[in-house]
């Protein structure tokens, strides 16, 4: 599925269209994926339920996210990133909205994400702090050296 955002940008869920070198150039400096490799990004994308990318009219990747999901009950948003030159244009919020409303994910009723500093992006879309955080558990291992 592909939609035009405006005269400058469009969004697509076509995995085969993504230039993973351009995605790596964005994600390599993100606090959650320092020095990530193209191979790691590709593997994550191919094992995800959905990848959404935003492109400028020259087909450069300017935004990226992926969704891990069973497409039935649960979905986890991650790697949401907009290139610095294209921020403050609602691209991140539009990509998340695209995923939340995508026909392939229409049955999902529990969405989760983690953010350190982008709460204002997600709140207008309905995200809120965990209501019963004490029920959630995790295993946090150190990220492997790559």
Model confidence band, residue 8 (pLDDT cutoffs 50, 70, 90): very high
* % of the chain residues with pLDDT over 90: 69
The mean pLDDT of 75-96, rounded to a whole number, is 93
Q: What is the predicted pLDDT for the residue at 60?
A: 95
Q: What is the predicted pLDDT for the residue at 146?
A: 67
Query: Could you count the other beta carbons within 10 Å of the beta carbon of residue 110?
Result: 9
The mean pLDDT of 54-68, rounded to a whole number, is 96
Q: What is the predicted pLDDT for the residue at 142?
A: 85
- Give the chain's domains with CATH numbers: 2-129 (3.40.630.30)
Q: What is the predicted pLDDT for the residue at 91?
A: 93
The mean pLDDT of 73-82, rounded to a whole number, is 95
Q: What is the predicted pLDDT for the residue at 108?
A: 96
The mean pLDDT of 53-79, rounded to a whole number, is 96
Contact criterion met (CB below 8 Å) for 109 and 76: no
The predicted model scores a pTM of 0.88
Residue 76's DSSP bridge partners are 68, 112
pLDDT at 82 > cutoff 90: yes
Q: Give every strand in the sheet of 9-12, ordered side by side.
A: 2-4, 9-12, 50-56, 61-69, 74-82, 110-112
Average pLDDT in the chain: 92
């Amino acid at each position: 599925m592909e939609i035009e955002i405006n005269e400058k940008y469009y969004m697509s869920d076509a995995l085969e269209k993504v230039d993973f070198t351009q995605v790596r150039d964005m994600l390599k400096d993100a606090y959650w994926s320092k020095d990530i490799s193209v191979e790691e990004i590709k593997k994550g994308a191919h094992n995800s339920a959905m990848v959404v990318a935003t492109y400028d009219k020259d087909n450069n990747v300017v935004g990226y996210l992926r969704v891990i999901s069973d497409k039935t009950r649960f979905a986890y948003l991650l790697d949401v990133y907009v290139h610095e030159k294209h921020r403050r244009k609602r691209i991140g919020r539009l990509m998340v909205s695209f995923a939340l409303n995508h026909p392939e994910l229409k049955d999902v009723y529990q969405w989760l994400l983690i953010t350190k500093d982008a709460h204002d992006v997600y709140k207008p879309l309905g995200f809120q702090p965990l209501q019963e955080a004490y029920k959630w558990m995790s295993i946090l291992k150190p990220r492997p050296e790559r």
